Amino acid sequence: MTRILTDIALGQVATGAQTGTVSEPSLAVSGKRMLVAGNWFSSRSTDGGSTWTFVDPYTELPTTGAGVCCDQLVHYSKSRRLWIWLLQFRKSATGNIVRVAVSWNGAPGSWTWWDTAPSDVDPAWTNLWFDYPDLVETADRLLLSFNMYGVANDRWERAVVLRFSLDDLKARGTLPRQAWSTDQVGSLRFARGPGNGAVFASQSNSVAGIVLFEWPDAATTVTETAVAVTDWSDGPYQSNGPGGAPWLNRLDDRITGGWRANGVLGFAWSAAADANHPHPFIRVVRIDEATETLIDEPDLWSAACAWAYPAMIANRRGDVGITAFCGGMTSHPAHAVGWFDERAGSWDMTTGAISTHGPRDGVWGDYLDIQPDPRRITYWVASGFVLNGGSARTNVEPRVVTFKP
């Protein structure tokens, strides 16, 4: 049974009261050092989460362009002993930039950074802006993925993956990049876990399935494979909590969870209710990495609540952990964690913090984060959030949860 060891709330002092109900908290951990970043805050702890120091993403690094807003991702590279911070900047009339910053300890004044605009990657990519980032570390590389939209109409144009050498990042000098892009599918999600290359996926636009991409560290080209899966419904997503408060008005079926462990690739996303699922639920597919064929589809669903916004990763023993939200009917959005029990073929879930209110505008999301605990083989550390004491964005309370099977 899933056991929560600690469930730490970050209050307004820790977040600078700069939270949003579309919170998207990202998490990096190294021993007792932690860094959490979301919309529009970041916070740092050096004592395992007992105390937190607000780190203002608007002022910690020099501003440029239209300024920071809003997505952020943080990551700790154990192999290079390097803290990595990705900041997305607000779009202007001509586009935006993304900033990759690195530090040896994550402390103020220790960061080195590089900025990239779409036109820096391809001179033809003018009047475009980056959004919806993801990040993965491989044996030798750091990879970032984005959607790109037109400035004038916010219409999706393509997805792009940027690749950097981890050694170049650690050297803090010139930072060459490689890039790959597609205008066929978007909202790419990486399968996170150790490997000599990146694996990422998106849903197919033509059939019920996903498109699997592989980019080995030593290769310059990306290969793709279509994997058929059971069809699902992309909306409408309906779930109302106490008093009829909706919380899934923003939900869609983009992949938000991906993992890689023990020869298995896994991907997960939110799906609407259907004949077999009375509430929105989490679609999960497991794929044999060697043969690129479907193994099974252990979805996470309930007759009592809706499930949404999953993120997954394996702990250091190889068990797959999950962080997600459940809510509706008798409960406002609650943060939950769990793991996949191979013997039972199902997810073992437990609820952590529960919101006292529903979101004022009915929106939640868009993604969470989870990491293997660097100190304990069978543990995970996950991000979450709830609303505590009201429905305003300042009532958003990010959480850092440590749990085990």
Tens digit of pLDDT for each residue in 308-352? 999 999 999 999 999 999 999 999 999 999 999 999 999 999 999
| CB contact set of 400 (below 8 Å; sequence gap of 6+) | 6, 7, 8, 10, 27, 34, 36, 49, 381, 382, 383, 384
| pLDDT for 246 beyond 90 | yes
Per-residue b or e along 125-142, where b marks 16 or more CB atoms closer than 10 Å to that residue's CB: bebbbbbbbbbbbbebbb
Nearest partner of 71 among 161, 142, 144, judged by Cα: 144
pLDDT at res. 307 = 98
**How far does CA 304 lie from the centroid of its chain?**
26
Longest dimension (CA), the chain: 56
Q: pLDDT per residue over 34-80, tens digit each? A: 999 999 999 999 999 999 999 999 999 999 888 999 999 999 999 99
Phi and psi for 85 in degrees, rounded to 5? Answer: -130, 120
CA distance 285 to 312: 12
> Exposed/middle/buried for 48, CB within 10 Å: 0-12, 13-18, 19+?
middle
Identify residue 148 by its one-letter amino acid code: M
| CB contact set of 248 (below 8 Å; sequence gap of 6+) | 237, 238, 239, 280, 306, 308, 362, 364
CA distance 88 to 65: 11
Q: Helices (DSSP H) in 39-122: which residue ranges?
A: 118-121
| CB contact set of 65 (below 8 Å; sequence gap of 6+) | 89, 90, 92, 96, 97
Stretch 108-131: mean pLDDT:
97
